[in-house]
Amino acid sequence: MKVFIRSAAAISAQNTFRNEGFLDDPVEHTGTRLPIIEPDYKEYIDPKLIRRMSHVIKRGVAAARECLNEADIEMPGAVITGTAFGCMEDTITFLTRIVEGNEEMLPPTAFIQSTHNTVAAQIALMLKCHEYNNTFVHKGISFESALTDAIMLLNEGDANNILVGGTEEMVDTSFKVLTRLGLYKRHPVSNLQLFEEESKGTIGGEGAAFFLLTDKPSAENMATLLAVQAFYKPDNLQKTIRAFLAANKLGPEDIGLLITGKNGDINNDSIYKELSTGLFKNSTIANYKHLCGEYPVSTSFALWLAANISKKGVIPRVVLERKAGDGAPKNILIYNHYQNKYHSLILVSAV
């Protein structure tokens, strides 16, 4: 059974939310962490509720509702999200109040909203959706797990019009910890020049992206989601990729566009260089993390990018590393790894 992406919405460090352009005016930021461009949440959420919501909840709800609006669908058949860190802002707020209040007179709101499934729950509550609701917390492949679950539901006929999203937020505390662990650079760098400097570390990111998946063919669909696969520390990456493509009756030569998770870290990017000069030496190569930053569910931004490329037939110049051939790519492969442990492949084609 074919699975289609009907609509997509993303809140990121770029003008991706309800923007008529397609990354034609990239936002440049110099630092070690990309700030989010926040939309007007009052259009999607009751102002009385906004003040009690952390950033990740507001972004998730707004992106989900805009995704439904673009598909002209009021009620999804299921809500599935993926996140690695969950609601960090509320978690840290609650833990801080425990210490400051000496474990007495603790306000419950921060605790209630600190769980990983809060975003999916808030979406369901606002929509009054009583259907299947699930959240995957699988570190660097959380979003891929959510996609896989959605595909299984569609194939089994248990739901249709499934809302799937990836959400992550970066707070000062987690950013400092991850910087000490060597994930992020220790000196400011322009995100648009991220790949020009070979050094350790990358730039921090966050965001929310939602997709409406359906098994119903339509001229309004953005792209076809052919397959998703996640794997942990592969022994032979190229063999794994070949087997993944072969299972979908494709070879490396059939991939018109490879979107990689290259992030400017000299240790992280060597794998992508090997693929671009080897297995996919004849494919167009694109990167995306200089636009959204590095975070565990960044592949949700990559899928938003791939779906729009498939729909519009245009590859934004800001993501291109190497162009091979003319015309819109028929098959798009997203390959990403998080800290060289959690690897994933997402295969997208034109409708």
pLDDT over 80 at 192, yes or no: yes
Distance, in Å, from the CA atom of 95 to the CA atom of 274, rounded to the nearest integer, reads 44
Asked whether residue 136 falls in the same domain as residue 275, the answer is: no
Asked whether residue 115 falls in the same domain as residue 11, the answer is: yes
pLDDT over 90 at 124, yes or no: yes
**Where a domain ends, among 214, 242, 271?**
214
pLDDT over 80 at 293, yes or no: yes
pLDDT over 90 at 105, yes or no: no
**Where a domain ends, among 181, 214, 247?**
214
Asked whether residue 119 falls in the same domain as residue 184, the answer is: yes
pLDDT over 90 at 112, yes or no: no
pLDDT over 90 at 126, yes or no: yes
Asked whether residue 27 falls in the same domain as residue 47, the answer is: yes
Q: Which of 334, 330, 331 is nearest to 319 (CA)?
A: 334
Number of folded domains in the chain?
Answer: 2
Asked whether residue 173 falls in the same domain as residue 244, the answer is: no
Asked whether residue 32 falls in the same domain as residue 141, the answer is: yes
pLDDT digit string (tens) for 229-285? 999 999 999 999 999 999 999 999 999 999 999 999 999 999 999 999 999 999 999
pLDDT digit string (tens) for 34-67? 999 999 999 999 999 998 899 999 999 999 999 9
Q: Which of 1, 4, 335 is nearest to 140 (CA)?
A: 335
In the block, tokens 């369901």 appear at: 124
Asked whether residue 232 falls in the same domain as residue 345, the answer is: yes
324 lies in which domain range? 223-349
Asked whether residue 210 falls in the same domain as residue 249, the answer is: no
Asked whether residue 185 falls in the same domain as residue 238, the answer is: no
- Specify the pLDDT at position 269: 96
The CATH number covering residue 280 comes to 3.40.47.10
Percent of the chain with pLDDT strictly greater than 90: 86
Three-class secondary structure of residue 219 per DSSP = coil
Asked whether residue 107 falls in the same domain as residue 210, the answer is: yes
Relative to beta strand 331-338, strand 257-260 is parallel
Mean pLDDT of 313-320: 96
Asked whether residue 14 falls in the same domain as residue 102, the answer is: yes
**Where a domain ends, among 185, 214, 243?**
214
pLDDT digit string (tens) for 168-189? 999 998 999 999 999 999 999 9
Asked whether residue 269 falls in the same domain as residue 157, the answer is: no
pLDDT over 90 at 104, yes or no: no
